[in-house]
Amino acid sequence: MTGANTAATPLLQVSGLESGYAGMRVLDGIDLEVRRGETVAVVGGNGAGKTTLIRTITGMVRGTAGAVAFDGVPLLGMSTDRICELGLIQVPEGRQIFAGQSVESNLRLGAILRRARGHEARTMARIYDMFPRLAERRRQLAGTLSGGEQQMLAIGRALMAQPVMLMLDEPSLGLAPIVVEQMFRTVAMLASEGMSILLVEQNVAESLRLCQRAYVLENGTVALSGEGEDLLTDDRVRQAYLGL
Ligand SMILES: Nc1ncnc2c1ncn2[C@@H]1O[C@H](COP(=O)(O)OP(=O)(O)O)[C@@H](O)[C@H]1O
Ligand SMILES: [Mg+2]
């Protein structure tokens, strides 16, 4: 995308990022990176700043200091629309699907970006292949889907945008345990296909098992980071997040 970029440049690079709301700072100097094809988790409790991090990266919350670069392109100050056109696509917390529209219209709405033009039919076929339950329910109103199906729809909608990288905000939130398993399998499958993924989760154990690397977010700062496997056996992580 940019000439100065090389394969060694992280796809997403966040440095010293600060942001917040109306005078209240939430992110207090975040450094993190995601390399091409990597699955990286950001785990942390409720209120740690995970959603604020995603929303700052996508330009929905204004970054007040630091930098965010996607494929070498600086993002701070850029509109959310333009950031989406670069292929940095989020699956928002709480799915945010259109309940009164059909499954298929929700998917089509994912393809309104310029970058998605001409790919719609093929991507939709691939999504229906991936999620047969969505195919069976393509004409059903999205609001009548189960929580797990709605999450699949939110992921499908994001895939319609032809993402270079997906940022998933708590995809397992509010789902029954068996559906949580399916959801993590879906993320693992996308990862195995080479998708670059930033997975934000309170489900620490599953996320650390799935990802290559992870960051533990506490009070708007990175308290710990490392390989998922190592963090799973870290005493602080075991005590604070795994109840061990
Ligand atoms: N729109 C908002 N306006 C004001 N404060 C907010 C807003 N959204 C989140 N916050 C505050 O920012 C902090 C981090 O929240 P959030 O990023 O949602 O955390 P997480 O996603 O990790 O649960 C919390 O203290 C929360 O109350
Ligand atoms: Mg959140």
Residue 52 CA, distance from chain mean position: 12
Average pLDDT, the chain: 95
User: CATH for 12-87+164-241, among 3.20.20.70, 3.40.50.300, 3.50.30.40, 3.30.365.10?
Assistant: 3.40.50.300
Q: Is 44 in the pocket of ligand 1 (CB under 6 A)?
A: yes
Query: Is pLDDT above 60 for 4?
Result: no
- Does the Cβ of 56 fall within 6 Å of ligand 1? no
Q: What is the pLDDT of residues 96-143, one digit of tens each?
A: 999 999 999 999 999 999 999 999 999 999 999 999 999 999 999 999
Cβ proximity of 235 and 208 under 8 Å: no
Atom of ligand 1 nearest to the CA of 217: 22
Place of tokens 């992110």: 27
Assign 244 a pLDDT band (cuts: 50, 70, 90).
Answer: confident
Encoded tokens for 12: 């997403």
Question: Can you tell me which residue has the tokens 């939709």?
Answer: 124
Residue 23 Cβ contacting ligand 1 at under 6 Å:
no
49 pocket-lining for ligand 1 (C-beta < 6 Å): yes
Q: How many Å lie between the centroid of ligand 2 and the Cα of residue 202?
A: 9
Please report, as a single letter, which amino acid is at residue 206. Answer: E
Within the chain, where are the H helices? 50-57, 80-85, 103-109, 120-130, 132-136, 147-160, 177-192, 204-210, 228-232, 235-241
What spacing in Å lies between the alpha carbon of 100 and ligand 2's midpoint? 24
Q: Which ligand 1 atom is nearest residue 22's CA?
A: 4
pLDDT at residue number 109: 95
Verify whether ligand 1 is closer than 6 Å to residue 21 (CB atom). yes
- When pLDDT is averaged across residues 65-85 and rounded to a whole number, the result is 97
Q: Looking at the predicted structure, is the pLDDT value of residue 243 above 90?
A: no
Mean pLDDT of all residues in 83-88: 98
Query: For residue range 142-196, what is the model confidence (pLDDT) as tens digits?
Result: 999 999 999 999 999 999 999 999 999 999 999 999 999 999 999 999 999 999 9
Query: For the chain, where do the domains classified as CATH 3.40.50.300 start and end?
Result: 12-87+164-241
Which residue's structure tokens are 């691939």? 126
Q: Residue 6: its pLDDT value, please?
A: 66
Q: Please tell me what DSSP assigns to residue 165.
A: E
For ligand 1, mutation pick of 21, 27, 218 (most atoms within 8 Å of CB): 21
With a 6 A CB cut-off, is 239 part of the ligand 1 pocket? no
Q: Is 186 in the pocket of ligand 1 (CB under 6 A)?
A: no
3 pLDDT exceeds 50? no
Q: What is the pLDDT of residues 10-32, one digit of tens each?
A: 999 999 999 999 989 999 999 99
What pLDDT, on a 0 to 100 scale, did the predictor assign at position 1?
Answer: 47
